[in-house]
Amino acid sequence: MDPRERLPLQLKPLATRDWEPMTIGESSASVWRIAMGESALFLKAEPAHDLSEMADELLRLDYLAEMGFPAPRVVDHVLADDFNWLLMTAVKGRDLTHLGDEPQVLIQVLADGLKRLHALDPANCPFDHSLERRLRDAEANVQAGMVDETDFDDERDGWTAQQVFDWLIANRPEETSRVVTHGDACLPNILCNDGRFSGIVDCARVGVSDRWQDLALACRSLAFNGGQDHVEAFLAAYGAEFDEERFAYYCALDDLF
């Protein structure tokens, strides 16, 4: 069904605009860019269910706005006919997957963006993403059958979601450096404009966690898109050393979300 056919009343004026589906990334929600003259809005939609992250994203976007951090701003949020709709402003720039031919810029923007996010005061962030909390959420996903077992990293190819969860429980590392993290710091979620960091998107998992929650997924995304040399250069620009234990752990944890 064309999403415009089920738009709630509040959003029906958007139906006559040009819609462009956003296919990059692995979100379970559908996202469209809607042209608004020289600017644009973004509309995210997904069926309403107990494990939906849209309500989480709404709260986190409000928090980021309060902190003055560059991210989408909420225009409207509608729950109608068991469907969630979130209308947001656009963030200037393009995601980092478009910088494959400029690896030095890509690496520096990623490092700058995460350093800026991690510099926010965790005492002012109300979202606890400690391992205790994230493991509870992961277990809920496993029990609800919400985990795509065909999309695990190669290291866990052929595993069941329960096996991944059991491994996480058995290999839980100490959390040593808790900061405000993005939670899904892969290249499609970090934006660049004119060679500089311009903001973050897909913010449903923003919360206070070990900084390796972000560094692990950033390193994995860099390795996939550009190779191991990119990882080393990124960590040098960020100011961290590679941590094999935490890298492996947070990548495995991400398989359950």
State the catalytic residues: 184
CA distance 45 to 81: 12
**Torsion over CA: 81, 83, 89, 92 (sign):** negative
Which tokens in the block code for residue 10? 């509040």
CA distance 15 to 12: 5
CA distance 59 to 90: 17
Contact 214, 183 (CB under 8 A): yes
Burial class (CB in 10 A: 0-12, 13-18, 19+), 89: middle
CA distance 129 to 137: 10
CA distance 47 to 197: 32
If you write DSSP's letter for every residue of 124-159 in order, what string do you get? G---B--HHHHHHHHHHHHHTT---GGG--GGGTT-
Compute the half-sphere exposure of residue 1: CA atoms within 13 Å on the CB side of its CA.
5
